[in-house]
Each structure stands twice: as structure tokens, then as C-alpha cells.
Structure 1
Amino acid sequence: MLPECGHTFCRECLLNLQTTAVVCPNCRQRHYSPAVEDLAVNFAQLGIAVALSNIQKSKDQGQCGKHSLPLDLWCSVSQKEICAMCYFEETKRTQHRVLTLAEKRQFTVDAIKQKSLILSQLYAMLKQCLTSDSESTCQNSYAKKLSDILRGEELGILPSSSIDKRLDSLKKVMFPAEQERRSSSRESRQETERSDDSRGSRETERPDKMQLRCVAKCEKGRKARLTWEEGQLHIYGLCKDPEEAHITLNMSDVRLLVPQENPTVFLDVADRDGPFGRITIKVWSHLRRGQQFLALCQGHLGPTLKGSAFLDVTETAGIDCLRAGRYLTENGTSSHALLDRLEWNDGHERPGRKGLVAGWSFKKAEDETLFGIALGECHIKFCCPFGEVVAGMAVVEDIAYNRTVRDVTVVEVGTAVREFAAS
């Protein structure tokens, strides 16, 4: 506080103004002594400033609707922010675990890292299982342990101890002990010898190699086949699948492996002469049209594009487009929207280019799943494209120009997941 006029300022500002004298910024009164470092502190005004700062922080944090106090605590049971009075009235009595918001944020960061590590281990195990044959320990060991670890569980935010236990189990599955391998090998040889003895022969026969069948099952009982193709995990679309599997995982766990940003889907196509190719599309999933298309390739909203036929080749904006998007239902084909609030214009337009995948209908809910794949280049903008062909463009052109379009159907759909690395 300046002694001559009584006006109060922060010390840093006065230090910047100090020369031979300090000129009050408010009334221009000159002060020659004492030095700024020795000026008295206006504790009353300092208290007001601190109080106002706390009020602002409370506004930023939000206020408790019941007590009008800042929401600066987190209840781990009710999963919501609470104030100090809520803690004393309710949470302390029920002995719920309470964290400060800073502790909760750190806990969330740690949990995300731990979940990422678990998912990377899951991906590595699936790779090892799906590329192994029946002679390995995979069928004897991995199948049971994978099922034991993941059956009925969600890969949500878990306590550290639970994650440690699951990681230990994953490591045992990933790196079975040498003794277990020798024991399994010894049992296999003994079984072979007994079988040979029953046939009167001591010759050891090499069993046929057989890849393990692995599926992911959703709550409604539909299954998605898991395979390892072209160096990637492939998750086929959910469907009714009565065939037994060696390993059954929760679809909710497996879907966490699919990247949230620009996932890759595939469409296997065939005509009356049989399968002839695969179209791979990168989906821009930040758009709701992209999310709808992804759902039609995964099946988690019900229908998929499996079994659907291509429609025709239509010219738009001076270039040809191959159209598709009608899915099968119990009552026939449909192209009714699976999601609402689908984008169209509003800044989502892009210049047409070869391989672009774009929506084909606007505000017609009965045709909102139709899409077209551009077969050429143009400068006219397409309304809300939601993906692009990244492999198999030659297959798209083959369908459009060399085959009867309506005879070509999608025989399989799914998602391709590249190597999952822990962040």
C-alpha cells in the first residue's frame, strides 16, 4: 500500500514502476520512500483478493446444488463429484472412498495406462493363439487360460491390485514355463504311443495342423470370428454362429482393441462364380456417418452389410460412383438409418477423388445407409464423405466395369486391427 495516497497495488507492478520515486498509477502522487520492498501489506485487500480467487475457482469447478459449496472431492462409489459437506453428511457415514479431484485425475491417467498395457498383452496373446497349431501348447494352455482371465469381465478402470493379478495371469499365458511345455509334449507323445499300440504299430504319426477357432461373443449371443490375416487381427462382423470355438471372449473386451480414430474395415465380395476380392476402407469415425458405417461392418447395432448386394454405377459431379449400403433384415433389405443426426453439408464437404466413400441420401431416413465409392477425380465437392478406400480399388473398378453389379454381394465384413502397442 502506498503511504501518501493509500492506494494499493500488487508488488510486481510497483517494482516495474520504481525509479527514483514511485508514481501512483491511480492519482499520480509521487512516493519517494520507503522502498517498494518495505511497503506495508494491505492484508484486508489481500484477503478480499484471495476470497475472490477462491470464488472463481469454485465457479470453474462447479458448485454443489445442495450446499452451494465447490465440488472439489470425488466419490469412487457413486462416481461423482461432491463437496465437503456432502462428505460429512453422507460419504463419511457410509465409509465410501473419497479422493481429491487431483488424485482422481492421476488415478484415471494411471488406469488408462494400465488398461492400455492389458490390451497390448491381449492383442499379443490373440496373435500367438491365432497363428499357432494344435501341436503347440496353445490349445492345451492358452485356450483355457484366456477364457478364465477374460470370461465375464469388462476391461474398465480396475484397482491396481486387480490389474496386477491379470497381468501376471497374462504373462503366464504368454510365456508358459518350460516344464509345462515339456509335460505337455510328454503327454502328447504318450497319447500317440498308446494310439499306435492299439493299431499294432509303433510308428509315430504327425497330426494334421489345425488353427484354433476363436470368437468374440456379445450379450445377445451373436459371435464375431477372430482371425490373423495379412499380419493383422481381423474381427469379423457379429452374426448367429452355432459352431463351437476353442476360445470365446467378450465382444466388449475385444472391441476395445479397435482404434477410436480412423479404424479400418474390410468387405469381402463375391459373385455367382465365387469370391474374387477384398475392399479395405479407412473410416473417419469422428463423423456420425462414419460411426454408422462402422456399425454396419461390426454389427454391434444389429444389422451388418454381410449378404447385401451392390446396387449400380451412377454418375454424379461428372464421375462414376459405385453404390451400395442396403443391409439385410428379417423382412428383406433396408437402408433405414441406424443413427440420428447424420451430417450432410455444414463444412463436411470435400472435393471428389478416386476411392472417396460418401453418403448418398440426406433427410431421407429410409435411405440413410446408402453410400457411393467415387471412381474418378473431380473438383466438385461431395457432401459429407466419411471414409476412403485404402486397398482394393482395383476390386471396386472390377465390380463397376467388368461384372454385373447386382450379382456382386458382400460375403464377409469386419474390422482389421493393426499392432496394438501400449502407450
Structure 2
Amino acid sequence: MERRSMEEELTCSVCSEIYSAGSREPVVLPLCGHTFCRQCVHGVTEARDGVLQCPTCRTPHPHTPLHHLPTVYALLNLSETYRRSERGVCNEHGSPLEFWCRGCQKSLCGHCLLDAHLQDGHTVVLATVFIEERKRDIQSLGTQLVQGIQTRTDSVIGGLVDLVKEIARGTEVSRVLSSSAQMVERILTDTAGLHSIDSVLVSSTLMESLQTEVQRISTSPAPLEETPEKGNRKTRCISCSLLETSLEMSRQVSVSEAEWQETSLDEAEQTPHPDGQKQNTTWQTSVTSSQETNTSQEILEGGGVSRSNSTSEGEAVEGSDGAAVGVPKTPWPLRCCVLSSDNRTGELRTEQDRLHLHALKDNCATTHFVIHMSLLESLINEKPEVFLDIGVDGKILGRVYILLYGHLRRAQHFLALCLGTFGPSYRDSKFHGVVKPGAPGETLAGGKYVTPEGLSVQGLMEDLEWGGKCIREKTVGLVVGASGGKPELDAFFHICTREDRGKKFACVFGEVVRGIEVLHDAVKHVRTRDVTVVDVGVVIPNSRRHLNYELTSYQPYML
């Protein structure tokens, strides 16, 4: 206890270092008498814009030059004595161990040095020199080890991200294959009722095109086409979209063919099954003649497939070998989502070789692969990249990517509203106006998020920045706060679409890095039509320190 008390008296209370000659020498503040090392007094003074204030009692010391502060030599001498005692005492001579022999690799006192080491030509240095050398070696080795661990950690995380990307990509391919299987059955059933050469040739062409598509998707993921709908998005391969259009054209050849009514996958999954489980009825046929009804229920020649008007996904078809066309025995199509701590889910998709996590929601279809939210949250770095899918009357205008200045609480608040981590998100919200339309400084205004009670702009976090170092000149693409500093309006934001040099925004917390042309289109529509955030989310980096593109025209703003 006595030794610990001595160490505390000889230690600077700011940096917790024992006083020593040089920058760590003890100096006394004249007005209050408290003692600190000279380096800490200098640092405290710089931090307070040149005003010297005691770190302990806060007593100001105006007009006190730092170089005039007196050194407390009594403390300095005591600290040197204490340091020598820390190095131990020679067992043979009882003197302090003040030297180190490099050849013998042992501590020496003065008597040891004279008796056996100097005369034998050993290399001897002061113990303080040896200690400082070893400290530097330890620091250097530690730095290298930390870097190596970080590199290896990033490699492991990158591998995990790649694995998640493959899972997400696989689930998307499964949807394409499922859609292709449905199309095959559709063509087969439709072909049974064809009676003209032209319509048969069209069906043959469609089947060959579909075969090409399936062969291609077997080796690489098919290009996916976003088909926007009001409040909904369906993913399908491009070939299937073209095939459906061609199939509709082929039906016009013979008026006696069946008319098809398509039910979306999401709607079909909600169809109750007699045994209490969900049923996937993806295609329904409205038959216009009894002859065609009989035909559609027969086994198609050469195909070995029987089809009723409503066949649930994964259900065996009569006359087949136990499975419908293209439907495996495992659950199909596969689905992957992210699960939050409050049991909400978010869609996880691979787009342009990057993982996109869509905003969380309360309900989700049956999921086969679940990734916990905490894993992906740990990958979101200090510069989060979010995306907004902007649409007009159900038609997608395009996607906007925004890089957030993650060190700001206002940016973290915006991220939370893009992910829905606090419950509500910007999904389905509307842009409510354009400020200064057509003039310098023009901005697109949004921020009304949707809650169970309706629309709101109340902030979900406290102490969001306003003004100060967040002020920046008005340039295109900047994302800014629009609350006037009022917490009840903190969800409001503007995106600048026309620069106004010389004028400044009060609170900038992000910038558009891709999709500025989409915002220009939105500005044209917002005054006459509803411009909506159809979907929203965040891009997951490949590693914690990796951004997936290089910023060229935009540079991140750092405080």
C-alpha cells in the first residue's frame, strides 16, 4: 500500500505517467498549486483555445505563459529514485540494478559492471536505455500484430459476406427457376389447345428460348428485371418477361385458346390450404370451352405431365413421377432474409455484386435462410451507403445511392429510418414538395415516415446536430436536415438538385453518389403526381473497411 501511494504521488493525474525529465517533468500551476506534467498542461491549454485551466479544480490561469511554469525538482528527483527502485536490487551487492549487459542478457549493478563485464569487453547499456528499446520493440511488434489480426479479420468477414451473397444470389436464381418451371407448364398446357400452325410454331419458339434461359442460369445468375407495381416489386428474369409477352401474342392467333389470369407469388402464398398450411397457387386458368377443360386435365403427349386448374407448389402431379415440372422436393423457391432482435425481417438481395438489405418489416413469407441483423450491422462502417427506390404512380423512376457521414448523429438517425431499426422507415413515404423550383439552391423535400398511427416527422433520436461544423455551401447532391433544429421535425430532409454557390445549408449529413438524374426526374413529377419512396435500405460493404466504389466527383465531408 505504501509503495502504491508513492507511485500515485509521482504520477500525473491526466496521463497516468510517472514524472520524468523532459516533456513529462512535473510543473506546478501558481494559482491553485496542482501539479501535472508539462506535456499534459500544454495539451489542456490547446484544447481550450489557449486558455490555461486546471484539469482538477478548473481554476483559470490567465496570462500565464507555459514556458514560465516552474518545474518541481523535488518530485522529479523522487520519481527518478522510484524508477531505480523499480528496477530491483542486486542480490550479490545490494545495489540498484542500473545497467544491462547485452551479451549476458542480465541486469547489473555498478559493482557487477566493474567486477566482470567491462574488463571482459561486454556490451553494457543503461537500464533506462534498454527499457526504452524494448518498449519500442513491443510497440512495433504489437502494431504489426494488430494489423495482421485486422487483415485476417477482414479476410474472414469478407469470406462470410461472400457466403451470404452466394446464398442471396442462390435464392434469387431459385425464383427465376421457379418462374421458368411455371412458364413451362403454362406453355405445355396452352399448347394442348392450339389448332393452327402459326400458334404451334410460336409455342415451339418460346419453349426453345426458355430452354436457352434455363441452360444459361445453370452456369451463372440470370439478369434480373425489376417489375415495379404499386407498393410491390416482383423479381423475374428478363427472358421470362419476354416469353410472357410473346405468349400473350401467340394466344391471339386462335380465339379458342384458354385465357390466363396470373396471380402474383406473394398473393398465392396467402391462399389457405385445407390442411392448414400455405398453398402456392401460381397460375389459374379460366377455360372458355368444355373441350379445352378436358384437354387441360389430360396427360400431355410426350410430357408425362397432368395439370389441374390449381396445383400447389411442391405438390405431386397425377401421372408424373412424383413432382411437377421443375419443382424439387425441397421447399421452392428458396428465400433468404435478415432477422432483427425484435423478430422483424428484412429482404436480403445481391444486386450489382453487392449485398442490399431492405428495410425491416413485421411480416415475411416462409424463409429458408436467416441471417441475424447483428452480423450485418457490424459490417456497416463509418460511411454507411443507403439507397432509395423512387417511383411515380407505381412506376420506378430509378434508384438513388446516398453516402452518409456516419460520425454525425443526424446521419445515424437517417440510417435508422432507412433500415427501420426503430420501427418505422421511409418506405412508402412521399416527397412533399420542391423548394425554389428551377432556381439556384433547388431541393427535393421529404421525410414523412409511416407509422401505425399515420405519418410523422418526429425525431427518433435526441441531440441531433444543427449548424456549427455541419454548415456547407449549397452544391448538387448534398443531403441536408430541414428541421430548423426542432426535434419534432428531425425526420425532414432535403436533397439539393441545383447548386447555389455562396449560399450555405445549415446541416449537411450526406451526399448522393449515384442516381442524381433520378432526383431530377422526381422534381419534374412531384408538383403534379405522387413521388414515393417505393423501397429503401442499406448496402452491406464487403468488409468493414471497404467501400465498393471509388468516389470521383464527390468527396466525403469529414469534420
How does the TM-score come out when normalised to structure 1?
0.57
Deviation at 1:206, TM superposition (A): 4.9
The amino acid that maps onto 2:163 is M
SS in 2 for 1:234: strand
User: Deviation of residue 223 (structure 1)?
Assistant: 0.6
Q: Distance in 2 between matches of 1:50 and 1:272?
A: 81
Describe the shift of the 1:50–1:334 C-alpha distance in structure 2 as closer, same or farther (beyond 3 A): farther
Q: Work out the CA distance in 2 between the residues paired with 1:53 and 1:297.
A: 60
Q: Which residue of structure 2 aligns with residue 251 of structure 1?
A: 373
> Using the alignment, how far apart are the partners of 2:475 and 2:383 within structure 1?
18
Identity of aligned residues (%): 30
Letter of the structure 1 residue corresponding to residue 448 of structure 2: R
Preserved CA contact (<8 Å) 1:304 1:328: yes
Report the alpha carbon displacement of residue 201 of structure 1 after superposing the two structures with TM. Answer: 6.8
Indicate conservation of the 8 Å contact 2:379/2:541, yes or no: no
- Structure 2: distance between partners of 1:301 and 1:107: 38
Shift in CA distance, 210/54, structure 1 to aligned 2, threshold 3 Å: farther
Letter in 2 for 1:243: A
User: 2 CA distance for matches of 1:196 and 1:293?
Assistant: 48
The equivalent of 1:354 in structure 2 is 476
The 8 Å contact of residues 312 and 405 in structure 1, kept in 2 or not, is answered as: no
Q: Which has the larger radius of gyration?
A: 2
Structure 1: stretches of 5+ with no match in the other structure: 1-9, 11-44, 56-100, 136-191
Is the partner of 1:319 in helix, strand or coil? coil
Is this contact kept in 2: 1:123–1:420, CA < 8 A? Answer: yes
**Aligned partner (choices 334, 337, 353) of residue 212 of structure 1:** 334
Provide the aligned length of Structure 1 versus Structure 2: 277
The one of 395, 398, 407 equivalent to 1:277 is 398
What secondary structure sits across from 2:415 in the alignment?
helix
What does residue range 287-298 of structure 1 map to in structure 2 within 5 Å?
A: 287-298=408-419
Q: Is the 8 A contact 1:131 1:211 kept in 2?
A: no
Whichever residue aligns with residue 330 of structure 1, its letter is: P
Which deviates further from its counterpart, 283-292 or 316-325? 316-325
Contact 1:120 1:422 in 2 (8 A): no
Corresponding residue number in structure 1 for 2:450 = 328
Match of 1:128 in 2: 166
**Aligned partner of residue 401 in structure 1, secondary structure:** helix
**Higher RCO (Cα < 8 Å, 6 or more apart):** 1
Partner residue, 2:82? 51
**Closer, same or farther in 2 for the Cα pair 1:335/1:204, shift >3 Å?**
closer
- Alpha-carbon distance change, 368 to 108 in structure 1, aligned in 2, over 3 angstroms: same
Measure, in 2, the Cα distance between the counterparts of 1:220 and 1:203: 38
Give the distance between the partners of 1:383 and 1:270, measured in 2 at CA: 28
Matched to 1:377, the amino acid is E
- Distance (whole Å) between structure 1 residues aligned to residue 317 and residue 462 of structure 2: 67
Matching of residue 402 in structure 1 with residue 542 in structure 2:
no
Distance of 2:317 and 2:423 partners within structure 1: 53
Q: Spell out the pairing of 1:220-235 with structure 2 (5 A cutoff).
A: 220-235=342-357
Q: Which amino acid aligns with 2:361?
A: C
Q: Among 199, 208, 226, which residue is 2:319 paired with?
A: 199
| One-letter amino acid of the counterpart of residue 275, structure 1 | I
Unaligned 5+ residue runs, structure 2?
1-20, 22-75, 87-137, 178-304, 306-314, 547-559
Between the aligned partners of 2:323 and 2:432, the Cα distance in structure 1 is 58
Letter of the 1:238 partner, please give it.
Answer: L
Supply the RMSD in Å over aligned alpha carbons.
3.9
Instruction: Report how far residue 417 of structure 1 moved.
Output: 2.3
Q: Quick one: structure 1 residues 242 and 107, their matched pair in 2 at CA, closer, same or farther if it must change by over 3 Å?
A: same
Which residue identity lines up with residue 518 of structure 2 in the other structure? Answer: V
Q: Deviations over 1:37-63 (max 9, x none)?
A: xxxxxxxx97741527999xxxxxxxx
Look up the equivalent residue of 2:376 and give its one-letter code: V
Call closer, same or farther: CA 1:107–1:300 in 2, change over 3 Å.
Answer: farther
1:123 and 1:257 in contact (8 A); partners too: no
Partner Cα separation in structure 2 for residue 237 and residue 388 of structure 1: 20
1:335–1:108: structure 2 CA closer, same or farther, 3 Å change rule? farther
Any idea what SS the aligned residue of 1:415 has?
Answer: strand
Give 1:303's aligned amino acid.
Answer: P
Q: For the Cα contact (< 8 Å) 2:345–2:361, is it kept in 1?
A: yes
Asked if the contact 1:305–1:326 (Cα under 8 Å) also holds between the matched residues in 2, the reply is: yes
1:118 is matched by which residue type in structure 2? V
Tell me how far apart the structure 1 counterparts of residues 543 and 319 of structure 2 sit (CA, whole Å). 48
- 2:378 is paired with a residue whose SS is helix
Return the alpha-carbon distance in structure 1 between the equivalents of residues 486 and 322 of structure 2.
Answer: 72
Partners of 1:210 and 1:348 in 2: CA distance: 50
* 1:373 positional shift: 0.7
Please say if 1:382 is aligned against 2:502: no
* C-alpha contact 1:309 1:326 (8 A) present in aligned 2: yes
The alignment's TM-score, normalised by the length of structure 2, stands at 0.44
SS at match of 1:309: coil
Q: Residue 345 of structure 1 corresponds to which residue in structure 2?
A: 467
Aligned residue type for 1:281: I
Partner SS, residue 419 of structure 1: coil
Contact 2:442 2:499 in 1 (8 A): no
